[in-house]
Structure 1
């Protein structure tokens, strides 16, 4: 769970720090989208892992909440663009 959260945090950080130079900078926009997709994927994997009954018995909801929050931030970044 911690590893998936760290992966989500790294890619969310890259999505938030990439700044396009202008409307013509398609590579930067593609990097933002890729970072958001990877953040959402890692957050989704953490959430799916937590949904397994043996994992839920051991880990409480607050273990998965940072990853889910990072996923929400990535969705907002993806939707709003730059």
Structure 2
């Protein structure tokens, strides 16, 4: 039977690994997205509002930290890197870049995008 192809044990293991790793990566992406939302939603009342600026920096820092952990989980183990695919790198890289831009703009005293 030439038309039928059986899945090898390696393919089945990669599929199982993909599902097992998708749960913690998805949770980390949700945590990072929440803290990015917090960092973008906080609006300082003025240049004197140091608590708001500290909240923005903390939200950005936590976003970058969660995204760094997600990237490490995706990239470092070779078996995970082969099983997950490159599209799992897009959310942490995009959220990390937005958080870094917000952090830099707040650190320069510009107040960010608001």
Same fold (TM over 0.5): yes
Give the structure with the larger helix fraction.
Answer: 1
Counterpart in the other structure of 2:71 = 47
CA displacement at 1:8 relative to structure 2: 0.7
Structure 1 runs of 4+ aligned residues shifted over 2 Å read none
Cα-Cα RMSD: 0.7
SS of match in other structure, 2:44: coil
Q: d(CA) in 2 for partners of 1:58 and 1:77?
A: 33
Counterpart in the other structure of 2:103 = 78
Q: Which of structures 1 and 2 has the bigger CA Rg?
A: 2
Q: Tell me whether 1:38 sits opposite 2:62 in the alignment.
A: yes
Cα deviation digits, residues 32-55 of structure 1 (max 9, x gap): 000000000001001111112121
TM-score (norm 2): 0.70
Residue pairs, 1:11-30, within 5 angstroms? 11-30=35-54
The answer to whether the 8 Å contact 1:33/1:78 transfers is yes
Residue pairs, 1:61-72, within 5 angstroms? 61-72=86-97
CA displacement at 1:68 relative to structure 2: 1.4
Q: When the two structures are aligned, how many residues end up with a matched partner?
A: 82
Note the residue ranges of structure 1 that are not aligned, 5 or more in a row.
Answer: none
